[in-house]
Structure 1
Amino acid sequence: MDFKPERIPVPKYTDVNKQRFLQEIYPLRKPVVLQDLDLGVCRTQWTLDYMSRKGGGKEVKIHVSEVPQMDFIKKNFIYRSLTFDVFVRRAAEDKHTDFFISPDEKYYLRSLGEDPRKDIADIRKQFPELAADIKIPEFFDENNFFSSVFRISSPGLQLWTHYDVMDNLLIQVTGRKRVVLYSPRDAPYLYLSGDKSEVLDVDNPDLSKYPLFSRARRYECILEAGDVLFIPALWFHNTVAEEFGVGVNVFWKHLPSEFYDKTDTYGNKDPTAASRAVQILDRALKTLDELPEEYKDFYARKMVLRIKAKAYSTNFE
């Protein structure tokens, strides 16, 4: 079956300052590409030689995959450590003479805190020499800052579709990246496992296995070097590095702090109230198993109706 979904372009804006962002863009709760922002000297200075020199011998933990499509559910990759200068040069290569699995392997860095179990990623702390080169758009209150994640991808690398529970800006400093997004309203069509979609290949999905995926509306954009993508919380996104690329994700808390799990250092744990609700639902579904099939079916449908009436919004896309 040919799969040719409608590709809804993500709107692009120029001449955006904090006031315009907060008044015109942010309340819509939809992705937008922001162009021509002042991101500092990183745009011109973050060459391979410069980054290798500045990052130096700092050891980084990286994902290494034999195939371009990384799958976080099935874990089709391994973790390895390299010094930053060696990693950057390997990640920029199409083929490798030094490698862990194969000459065609792909690399991905998602920076971590010093102790990932306790510390958030903050480029100012883990890579201060490089952080001095980039200007983070000041579109949110500094007190709401959560993390700034340094990301580097091999050309061709595709990351799994997932959502985050915080708003974020994806700053594409160098290289070109394709981003495909799906609305939170389309979650029923994405075959979720936690915060991730089981549909790995969004361009050529197996519709015999994932028939509802064809209903999901596909938003898409190409980020050129210097573009910034605003991704509202709960919007699903899937990225492909069309070129070797360097970027920084900045996450901030747009809800009161008590909504978030205090043990979450990655920014991907569901709000505590949502986690409790899911646990209660799991217990309710287990209780339904005590009933004969006919009754189980009937009361499960009643539960679905109550959830729809209670929780579903009609004005959020």
Structure 2
Amino acid sequence: MYMIQPGAAAILSVARRLKGQFIAESLFLRRPAVLRGPCLGPCLEKWTAEYLGQKGGDKEVKIHVSAVPQMDFLHKNFVYKTLTFNEFVKRASEIKHSDFFLCEDESYYLRSLGEDVRKEPADLSKQFPDLAEDFHIPHFFAPDQFFSSVFRISSCGLQLWTHYDVMDNLLAQVTGMKRVVLYSPQDALHLYLSGDKSEVLDIDSPDLQRFPEFVKAKRYECVLEPGDLLFIPALWFHNTLALQFGVGVNVFWRHLPADSYDKKDPYGNKDPVAATRALQALERALHTLDELPADYRDFYGRRMIQRIQKRTYFDNLSSTARQEDSDSTLPSSPFTKPG
């Protein structure tokens, strides 16, 4: 297993893990990790573009299409289109297109949806039952914790916006190679958030005049190869770049009590119920401060910040403990070593 290391081009150490070791070290420590060699099933050999097109057939799918490979959800620099699955796979696996919506080098992205997109999470076994037979969901959680299995297909070069999810998930890379960049939840204040997404679209060449704090966010990086499995803990920010035409499956599960989550959330990215209430209460408190003069708003706003800092776990750690927590190489683990 790789333990994700910080750095612009991280070199990761490798070891094969048993389920118990993975749970003890990655799930418990809330750290991303790449597992090499898990049993994902015959999908690793079968899921060529031709095979996928044959199995998916004329089933219609809703896809993202963009004239540029760097997709931006906040400003919607893409359009939604509908294609038959076999035509979508054909186009997504091409570099230049004879048939296209926007331009001959447009990029395609599929994120599978539930039957009722407003109510039901994606489930590979329901949307693509023939393909689901080829994919074995890793058993790192109890069956009743399962939330969704999301089928993803990307054109080569496609990059998705930086965001976080509120559930733990495993990203299985079945075909192609994909770069994944991650940021810790502790760096949220440096990522210029709008909801669950970062406003910093270009993480490789960020506009530091607009986003000067972004340089303070520690970058973690890995490259997934076919058969790799990436554990992304809840609240960890991630940004993906398809280095090749690729197919993957995301498996999400509820690691908190079921009633912690918004029951009307089919995507698994709405904040937990208690967090939503807290954020709403904060907005009401800020509106209340508007009744005061500017210098009073500033003073009591700073007092509110101080109260929040005292209540957060990491701000209560000693400086030594914080330093140890920031060291993602985990030197005490016999399964990891500095790259």
TM-score, with structure 2 as normaliser: 0.90
Report the Cα distance in structure 2 between the residues aligned to 1:10 and 1:256, rounded to whole angstroms. Answer: 36
User: Could you tell me how far 1:63 is from its partner in structure 2?
Assistant: 0.3
User: Could you tell me how far 1:299 is from its partner in structure 2?
Assistant: 0.4
Percentage of pairs with the same residue:
64
Report the Cα distance in structure 1 between the residues aligned to 2:69 and 2:238, rounded to whole angstroms. Answer: 17
Secondary structure, aligned partner of 1:148: strand
Aligned to 1:203: 204
Contact 1:11 1:33 survives alignment (8 Å):
no
Contact 2:162 2:198 survives alignment (8 Å):
yes
Report the Cα distance in structure 2 between the residues aligned to 1:312 and 1:22, rounded to whole angstroms. Answer: 22
Change (3 A) 1:14 1:57: farther
Aligned to 2:306: 305
Q: Map residues 164-203 of structure 1 onto 2, 5 A cutoff.
A: 164-203=165-204
Aligned to 1:275: 276
Report the Cα distance in structure 1 between the residues aligned to 2:237 and 2:20, rounded to whole angstroms. Answer: 26
Contact 1:124 1:131 survives alignment (8 Å):
yes
Q: Map residues 1-317 of structure 1 onto 2, 5 A cutoff.
A: 6-7=7-8, 9=10, 11=12, 13-313=14-314, 314=317
Secondary structure, aligned partner of 1:100: coil
Report the Cα distance in structure 2 between the residues aligned to 1:35 and 1:15, rounded to whole angstroms. Answer: 6
Report the Cα distance in structure 2 between the residues aligned to 1:76 and 1:115, rounded to whole angstroms. Answer: 25
Contact 1:10 1:219 survives alignment (8 Å):
no
**Which stretch of the first structure deviates more once superposed, 304-313 or 264-273?**
304-313
Change (3 A) 1:10 1:167: farther
Contact 2:7 2:221 survives alignment (8 Å):
no
User: Could you tell me how far 1:38 is from its partner in structure 2?
Assistant: 1.3
Aligned partner of 1:141: which letter?
Answer: A
Report the Cα distance in structure 1 between the residues aligned to 2:11 and 2:164, rounded to whole angstroms. Answer: 17
User: Could you tell me how far 1:203 is from its partner in structure 2?
Assistant: 0.1
Change (3 A) 1:204 1:112: same
Change (3 A) 1:55 1:261: same
Gaps of 5+ in 2: 1-5, 327-339
Aligned partner of 1:75: which letter?
Answer: K
Change (3 A) 1:10 1:26: farther
Contact 2:112 2:122 survives alignment (8 Å):
yes
Secondary structure, aligned partner of 1:179: strand
Change (3 A) 1:112 1:160: same
**Which stretch of the first structure deviates more once superposed, 185-194 or 289-298?**
289-298
Aligned partner of 2:215: which letter?
Answer: S
Contact 1:154 1:245 survives alignment (8 Å):
yes
Report the Cα distance in structure 1 between the residues aligned to 2:151 and 2:13, rounded to whole angstroms. Answer: 24
User: Could you tell me how far 1:312 is from its partner in structure 2?
Assistant: 3.8
User: Could you tell me how far 1:6 is from its partner in structure 2?
Assistant: 3.8
Change (3 A) 1:231 1:262: same
User: Could you tell me how far 1:49 is from its partner in structure 2?
Assistant: 1.1
Contact 1:11 1:32 survives alignment (8 Å):
no
User: Could you tell me how far 1:8 is from its partner in structure 2?
Assistant: 6.9
Secondary structure, aligned partner of 1:162: coil
Secondary structure, aligned partner of 2:244: coil
Q: Deviations over 1:32-73 (max 9, x none)?
A: 100011111100100111111101111000000010110000
Report the Cα distance in structure 2 between the residues aligned to 1:15 and 1:135, rounded to whole angstroms. Answer: 18
Aligned partner of 1:220: which letter?
Answer: E
Task: Judging by fraction of residues, say which structure has more strand.
Answer: 1
Report the Cα distance in structure 2 between the residues aligned to 1:49 and 1:310, rounded to whole angstroms. Answer: 54
User: Could you tell me how far 1:12 is from its partner in structure 2?
Assistant: 5.1
User: Could you tell me how far 1:28 is from its partner in structure 2?
Assistant: 1.2
Change (3 A) 1:197 1:48: same
Contact 1:12 1:35 survives alignment (8 Å):
no
User: Could you tell me how far 1:223 is from its partner in structure 2?
Assistant: 0.4
Aligned partner of 1:255: which letter?
Answer: L
Aligned partner of 1:128: which letter?
Answer: P
Report the Cα distance in structure 1 between the residues aligned to 2:121 and 2:64, rounded to whole angstroms. Answer: 18
Report the Cα distance in structure 2 between the residues aligned to 1:13 and 1:267, rounded to whole angstroms. Answer: 30
User: Could you tell me how far 1:21 is from its partner in structure 2?
Assistant: 1.5
**Which stretch of the first structure deviates more once superposed, 283-292 or 153-162?**
283-292
Aligned partner of 1:163: which letter?
Answer: Y
Contact 1:14 1:36 survives alignment (8 Å):
no
Q: Deviations over 1:185-244 (max 9, x none)?
A: 000000000000000000000000000000000000000111110000000000000000
Change (3 A) 1:24 1:128: same
Gaps of 5+ in 1: none
